[in-house]
Every structure is written in structure tokens, then in C-alpha cells.
Structure 1
């Protein structure tokens, strides 16, 4: 297993001896500094791949006539359609059971030949979809301070908010009550980026898996080179089904048991569809959807999206519902209308709120929104060693801080220097090449650009402050690109920001230690809370239909907006205990 270590401050800010105490020339960088160095971004903010491959072929979904007034001679099964498609020279990648269609990559000539066939109904774009963890490009905002401290037991603030412990640990003693519904007997299919299958929190949880990118049964979230992906699927799966009392490497003052999922007895089905950059094709998701059905899933958790409705996708999700599966999807992080497939009429769309039940500014809204759930600064499992816990010391203070996602671990000591918004190579006031701790106000430029700018001026660690918003908030979890040379970086709350600005010029120490958990924001984190609650309901009432499970969650939700269903919160905050009470 590869751990991200902090390989010495000199490796990150390798200033020559002759310039180690010399002030930086304004607008210029310290000699020999290596900062950033990305050739492309990787992680939650990655650019989407082109629909046209290097071989010049386009990714499409080819639909064939089936019923609907078509003559018998013009109807064809998907299997026969695959043979027809291959006959043109096209490369077929998937054949569907629930819809009369195949996925393929075609040249322009092959597409023309297929369009001329009387057996072909239409050819749809094979859209690119992406994970809905919080992108780096979103502006910083303010969170509740109640989520800023690691829980001393395994019950996170989000878990308590959806009432999961009240369902299976009514007396709060940290032990599952005999006979209580825990999701046992219910299979939840996580269609995502894969999983760290050796993470202790999932021991005994995964009953089947398939990697739809590598076409094998190993769903590990890694590239062919053995490099970890973004960890998105591991985080999502932990929210649903992390086991009670099976902790991995945790942080100081955090429960040694780690954390527990909403449905700690549920069986997990892992379908890897997102690549290391967090992207996939619609055709791959539809294949995974059919695989989930074949494996007996009752719930499908989809923390991805970004396309538009097509006839094939709408039919595929309706078939999933008709065949007994409830599909739960992230509403999206763009703040606008609910993204597809969450907006599909057969899918339950989930938006995000913070620990104070306030709507997350990034959460998409609209009439398609069904429920909301915790999606701000959510603690969950992460690929082993890639999470980080941060501690800060400034004089006699030890203020709360949160490591940036994918920040390297290690220890840094230096003067606290005001670097403004980190927007240029002369942003740091009084910077020297002997190393210092940069204080940056985020928002003017992307996080990685601000990091590069202040590191080039000699910064050995970076603190991102929060100058606006109510006291006690914590800056939204931000992310560094997976590749490149970075210094340890943290974010702090608004109250701490005020104190740090008063102590500019004094010495600060940052210590980041690796752990197997992390905090992430996004509607990707909200959707699995609802998936877990659905598993609890099915565990208690196995004969329910997907429509009945959804109706129970919506009718019992805590109404947060205007009375009744509204476009900001849908039916409200999902609550497991109240939903079970309603069913009983």
C-alpha cells in the first residue's frame, strides 16, 4: 500500500543555501522550488474525457425497434442487434437485457451504415457522467462547527442526524440491539469508483463485485499502474455499510472503532464504473445497473451524474424500478437544477444539508428533488493511508483545522505570513526562502494555483482561512490534485482565522498524520445516507415495494422548508426511526 508521506520540507521547497535567508524578489520565485507540476488534474475536479477516442471512434448507444407499432420485420433483439452492429465493423462494448440496445464505438462511416438500417430506431450519444463529490472549483463556504470535531464514538453527526443509531442502538450503549433492523438481508449496490476492499471497516460486508472498466471481479479503486484513484467509492460505501467496531487507523481523539454506516448489517455489491479521474460513460452505468439486478440488489446508490435524459436511460431506470430496485442518486453540486439521472422519474434525487440542517450552497434544487441528507464535511472511510488528520499549534493555542483532501502528511514549523489570496508570486508579505507557514484567503484563484504561488515564494505549509460567514464555521473541505508536489495544507474556521490574523509573524506548527478516514462534502455523500435508510426499512419489512419504501421516507422526512414538498429541500431530511414508526 502506498502512503503519501511528507518527504522533508527541502524536497518541497528546495531553496539553495545562498538564498535561504534572503527575501523573495517581488514577482519572482525562490530558486529550485518545485511546486505543483501537474500535467493534468486528477480527482474530484478532473476534466471530462472526449467522446471521440484516439482511434477516431465515437461512443454511442444504438437502439433497435421493439414493438410500438413497428412491423415484425423491423423488430430485432439486442443480441441480434449486436451482430448487426459488428457486421459494420463497429466495436460492441455492451448488450442490454432490459432495453433493446447495445453500446458501441463507431467510425463516422459505420454510424452512417447503421443509421440507414431499418432495424435501427436511433443512435444516442454515450454521455460522460462523473462523481458528485465536491469539486475544487466551487467557492469556499461555511460549515457548522459541530462537524469540526472528530466523534469520540463511532456515531458521526450525520449518522445521528438521520436517526440511524435510534433504529439499531436505541439505548445508545454502542452495541446493536438484539433483533433490531441493521440492513441485514438487504443487498445495496454501490455503483461508483470501486473500493479499498482490504479496509477493515468492510470486513464481511462485500458479497459480490465487478470492475466494469477492467472487466474483472477486483473492484479496487486503482489504476493499471497501481496508483489509487480518488477514493470516492470507498467514502460512499462507508456511509452505507461500514461495520460497527471494525476500526482502522484513526486520528488522535477519534474513536478507535472508526465510524459506522447507516446500515451496518447490509450486504454490499460493488460495481466499479468511475475511472481514476472520476468519470464514466452512461453505457457503463447502465451495464452496472443490470448487474446489480442480477445480484439481487434492493437498493442502488448512484453518487454520479451530469448527463441528460435519453430514451434508453429512462427505460433502463424504469425497468430497474419495475424489477424491484430503488435507485437513489446524488442531485448534483452545481447549485442549479437537479442533474440526470437523479432527475429521472424512476430515481430518488437527494440533495445535501449541513449539520445544522441548512441547505449546502452547492446542492442542486428543483421539483425533481425528493429528499435531503447530510452532505457537508461528512466523515467516512477512505483508502488506507490517504486520509489525513491535522493538528495546529500557534503560540499557546491549538485551534481546530481540517486537512485538505489529498494533502501530503508531515510536520512543518515556520513564521505565519499573510499571503492574501495567493493570487500571484508577490502575494506573501515578507516571504523568505527559508520556509514559512502561509495564511491564504481562498476564493480568488483555484486552490492548486494558490498553493503553487505561495510555495514558489518559500511556503512550507499553507493554512486556508475563512474570513466571511458566522463565527464557528469551518471552510468547506477543499482538494489538492492527486499528482504534483504539494506542501501540507489545512483549512480553519472563521473564528480561528480571526485569531491567526492577529498572530501574523509568530510561529505556527502544522502536523498532518495519515489515517484511513476523511471528511468530504458533496451530494455524493448525501445519497448513500438515504440508500442506507432504505436498507434499514427493507430489513424490517422485506415485503415492501420500492415505491412503498420511497413513500415512507418522504412522508416521514423532517420538513425543513416551506410546509410540504419544496424545491430547496424536497420532502425534507430523511429520518430512519421516524420512517420505521410510520410503517409500523
Structure 2
């Protein structure tokens, strides 16, 4: 069994903690019809209900022994812990639009920072930043730190679950806030992108003092807090695997309502997509070191939009101390800080115009133009400021990138014939099927090779999902196996899910015995002519479970046919003829193909 966990690393490693596919949720205890106490396997879900159907859906959740977590009334959503066995019935409730797993979100964590000059912050005055507000969603804020602003501050928290917003037992949030707005001119410690104590901050403490994970639904609530506080920029040095329709909708709404959201690309050093960074309307930030080179830990994918310093960045930590952290968590506040700094000089510009300008003026690194390591380049405050002086719409509107295409395969599988070279981004998948004859035994599905992490799900007769299957194999690599010693007759469906970006992976299905029906050969032929002398070829014909043993051609009605491949025939005159090829395999099955063949007139 695959057990996925993600922990915040120690104080010297701040960045991305890997996503969790099987983070433990305590079972729901109930009493069965015989009076016995039973435990039901559970998971936390987001339930989107139809307008004015909240009470009906709430009642249904109660009837299935669900435990309500929260209500997001603005978006017609409920969040509840439900027995996994009951989720399918809730999905079919007439007042429910969709039900999805509430994926975890983690404080990004990995190592040590610097970079204010690299992003050109000292070249742009922050005197106007009072017209902006940056919302920092993180582990809190050490308000007593001598180098952090103690005014122009507001905040929210999640009560006893996190503790007060103006405290930070972990240090991650205070470090992030320091990069954005650590005070300058006080002969203390460091300075931030906006050092003049002019920029209002709103703090949402979403993690507790241990930096433990939270859920996408909590992030939705935190984003609403930011919006209600009047934030123009949101910093999220956090993320996790697995997208959420509800979460993406919230960020789309925020963008449409004047908020630029900025999030860490992740620190697993691979090509996986992290969320919320990888939503189209969130700026995904990768990390570079002091030499402006890609940080080896920084995740790389088509959604990375900008880069910023993330390696050995020095900033504020609790107890009036300073620490060097590394991670995309540290790169993100550089971009959020620059966004507010530049926007403060041109407050009439829209989020799209500011975002497009930051993209157009970024310092290009790596391959020319946009690439998966640096996105469009390292954010540059002065260059963006200068471009906007010519007008808000000077920069071309940023293009939302399209995901790369997966290799495609015929979905039908045959005994012992592998599908080779599968690949996919995190969250992508393949579906295959195989027809198993009566009397077959030892049906095996074996997946192997390549890199990354793909999981295997198999079901008889019905399409498997990640929560409904006859067999699941989800090891930490691509070596997955599903075995049915005495399989049912009929169709088995296969679901290959990309838990983490993978490539060059093969899958094969095999079984023993069975009354296997002969598969007929596949007939493909073509011809060409020089004058009236024509040649015919059937080399592209094939037999899926044997060999072709004969080729018989009929070129004209009333004229004897000819065996062989390739073959030749001289026609009596130019014109259109009905040519027939009949092929036969080693089990006697035949396939015929008749088509019009044109013999051209001499030029």
C-alpha cells in the first residue's frame, strides 16, 4: 500500500512539502443494524450544492453519518468528512452539482534567502504603496519582531486550530512577510521589497505553530478573508498536489475582482504541478540562486510563470532573529512584493495589465522566451515600472500556456502485447480495456519502467476510479501489479493515473488458457501504376494474433485472380476498376477489402 505523507522540514529547510495522496483521516464510528460498533473509512470532501439547497444537502450528509467541517456560503459549498462508501450516492443527489476530495495544502519548506537587489526593488520608490494591500496566507506573523511593521496590519486566523494571527511559532510566515516588507532605515537586520512601512499587510494564519497541513477548503476561506480585507495581492508560499474545482473557481473569482494571487511552484525538484500555483489565474513562481540560476529543488513545468531569488534568502524569524531559508516559498514573496510595489505607481491598471507587464519585462533566463525552469524570467521591478510609464496596455496580454500533449494509444489491449512509452503530467491518466475469454486464469496487469509515479486501477465490467476499483496498485514508483487468479469472463477496464509526472512507462496484460476467439486479420493495400502496368502491395496488412498466410487479388471482373504479395497486373485501358484483395490468416479467418482503383490515362 502506498502511504503518502508530507511534513514541514526543520527551520533551516523552508519550501515545499510533498503532496499527500493518503493522508490519514480518522474513521467515522457508527452503529450497524445489529447494534455493533463499526468504523467507516472516511475522507474530507467539498460538496457543491445547487442554489438554495443547503439544508437538503446538509440533511443528507447527516443521514450518511457525515461530520460537517465548514460552510462556504458565498460559493454554495459545504465541507464534510464522509464515509467513502457513501460518496457515490451523494454525487447522485439531485441537489448536488459535484463532490470532490478536499486536497491538503502545506507550508512550502526546504532551506535558506536574499535577492532584493536582483528583483530591482531598490530602484523603485515604495512611497505610494499605501494604495495596495498584500495578504499573506501562512503560519502567522511575529508582530513583536523589531524589523517587521507593527502598524498598517490586520489579520484573521482559524481560532484554536491555528492560534492568533499575530503570533508565529513556526517562523515560516514571518520570514515570508519580511521579504515583502521588512523595515529599512532602522539599522536592524534586513530590508524587504517594500521597506518604507507604507504597505498595508493582512495576515491570514492558516497553519498552526507546527506548520501542519491544511485543506483546499481552508485556503478558499482564507482567500475570502483576503478579499474582504481589501487585498490587491495575495502571497501563498504553500501548495500541494491535486487540483480542486472549488479552489480554482475561488481564484478565478478573485482575479476577476481585482486580486493578483501569487503562489510557490513547489520544491520537489520535479515536473509535477503544485496547486494553487498551477491554476491559470495564479502566478506560479520558481526559484533561482544568487547567480540567477535555477534552484535544483524548484519544480519545473509549463505553468511556471516567473522566477525570483529562493536560495539562501535571509529574512525575519521569531525572537528578533534572522534566518536563511531556501525554497520557492522564499521566491514567492519577492514576486508578491514587486507586484504591489509596481502596481502602487499605476493603480488604475487592471490585474491582467500588471501581470502582463511583469511577464513582458522579466529577465529572460534559460531557453529564449518562456521555459519550464524560469517561466518568462526573473521578475524586474524597475523594468516593469518603466514600461507602465508608457501606458497600462503597453505590454501584450500574457498568454495562458497549454499543457503538453500526452502520447496516445489504442485503448484495446491484447494478451501479452504491451503498451509502451506512456507519459503524463500529474493528474493526467490513461484508460484501456481487455476482453478476457471464458476459462482463462491468472490474469495479470503489470506496469513498469520509466520515471515518476503512476498508479494502476482495474475493474471488471465498469470503469474504475481512484475511489472505486476491483484492484489498486499504488507503490511509490511505476512498478504496479494487479492479479486475478480466476478472472471473470468479459471486459476488464484499466485506469493508469499519474500521481506524479511520469514518462516512458509500459503496461502489459497477460492471461493463461481460455477459449480465445481468433482475431481476423486487418486488410490494408495500395497500388501504383506506370502507364497500364500496375504494382500492388499489402505490406501494411497484419494479424493481431497470428500470421497472414495468403493474399488473393481480383483485378477485373471475369479475369482469373492472382495469389501473392506484392503483385502486378497490366490493365487493358485507363479507367476505374474494382480491385479486391482477400487475405487469410493461419487460423483460416479471412478479411476482404474491395475499392475503386484508378488507372490514369497517359500524359
TM-score calculated relative to the size of structure 1 = 0.57
**What is the CA distance between 1:263 and its match in structure 2?**
1.9
Q: Give deviations 1:297-340, integer Å, cap 9, x for gaps.
A: 10010111112222212211111111111000001111222412
| Aligned length, in residue pairs | 361
CA distance in 2: counterparts of 1:78 and 1:328, whole angstroms: 32
Aligned to 2:204: 271
RCO (CA 8 Å, sep 6+): is it higher in 1 or 2?
1
Task: Tell whether 2:208 aligns with 1:208.
Answer: no
Task: Tell whether 2:191 aligns with 1:260.
Answer: yes
Aligned to 2:76: 100
- Aligned residue for 1:379, secondary structure, equals strand
Task: Tell whether 2:371 aligns with 1:371.
Answer: no
Aligned to 1:320: 254
**What is the CA distance between 1:183 and its match in structure 2?**
2.3
- Aligned residue for 1:534, secondary structure, equals helix
Task: Tell whether 2:49 aligns with 1:64.
Answer: yes
Match of 1:90 among 66, 74, 79: 66
RMSD of aligned Cα (Å):
2.7
Task: Tell whether 2:145 aligns with 1:199.
Answer: yes
Match of 1:305 among 226, 239, 244: 239
Match of 2:275 among 337, 340, 362: 340
- Aligned residue for 2:339, secondary structure, equals helix
- Aligned residue for 1:314, secondary structure, equals helix
Instruction: Note the residue ranges of structure 1 that are not aligned, 5 or more in a row.
Output: 1-39, 66-74, 136-142, 148-156, 169-179, 223-227, 247-255, 386-515
Aligned to 1:161: 118
Contact 1:182 1:539 in 2 (8 A): yes
- Aligned residue for 2:75, secondary structure, equals coil
Aligned to 1:232: 172
- Aligned residue for 2:99, secondary structure, equals strand
CA distance in 2: counterparts of 1:575 and 1:114, whole angstroms: 49
**What is the CA distance between 1:62 and its match in structure 2?**
0.8
Q: Give deviations 1:488-528, integer Å, cap 9, x for gaps.
A: xxxxxxxxxxxxxxxxxxxxxxxxxxxx1100000000010
Q: Give deviations 1:122-168, integer Å, cap 9, x for gaps.
A: 22111112122216xxxxxxx9xxx8xxxxxxxxx510111111112
- Aligned pair in 2 of structure 1 residues 79, 383: CA closer, same or farther (>3 Å)? farther
Contact 2:269 2:299 in 1 (8 A): yes
Match of 1:53 among 10, 26, 31: 26
CA distance in 1: counterparts of 2:162 and 2:107, whole angstroms: 21
**What is the CA distance between 1:182 and its match in structure 2?**
5.2
Aligned to 1:582: 387
Aligned to 1:138: none
CA distance in 1: counterparts of 2:55 and 2:329, whole angstroms: 34
**What is the CA distance between 1:543 and its match in structure 2?**
1.6
Match of 2:370 among 565, 572, 578: 565
- Aligned residue for 1:184, secondary structure, equals helix
**What is the CA distance between 1:90 and its match in structure 2?**
3.0
Aligned to 2:164: 218
Q: Give deviations 1:229-248, integer Å, cap 9, x for gaps.
A: 2x1111111111112234xx
- Aligned pair in 2 of structure 1 residues 545, 522: CA closer, same or farther (>3 Å)? same
- Aligned residue for 1:327, secondary structure, equals strand
- Aligned pair in 2 of structure 1 residues 525, 182: CA closer, same or farther (>3 Å)? farther
CA distance in 2: counterparts of 1:528 and 1:310, whole angstroms: 24
> Max radius of gyration: which structure?
2
Q: Give deviations 1:383-426, integer Å, cap 9, x for gaps.
A: 116xxxxxxxxxxxxxxxxxxxxxxxxxxxxxxxxxxxxxxxxx
Aligned to 1:481: none
- Aligned pair in 2 of structure 1 residues 551, 131: CA closer, same or farther (>3 Å)? same
Which structure has more helix as a fraction of its residues? Answer: 1
Q: How does 1:424-463 map to 2 (within 5 A)?
A: none
CA distance in 2: counterparts of 1:166 and 1:330, whole angstroms: 25
Q: How does 1:147-158 map to 2 (within 5 A)?
A: 157-158=114-115
**What is the CA distance between 1:565 and its match in structure 2?**
1.5
CA distance in 2: counterparts of 1:543 and 1:209, whole angstroms: 26
Contact 2:241 2:275 in 1 (8 A): yes
Contact 1:132 1:332 in 2 (8 A): yes
Task: Tell whether 2:355 aligns with 1:550.
Answer: yes
Contact 1:203 1:243 in 2 (8 A): yes
Contact 1:213 1:273 in 2 (8 A): no
TM-score calculated relative to the size of structure 2 = 0.56
- Aligned residue for 2:340, secondary structure, equals helix
Aligned to 1:489: none
Contact 1:191 1:271 in 2 (8 A): yes
- Aligned residue for 1:571, secondary structure, equals coil
Contact 2:183 2:192 in 1 (8 A): yes
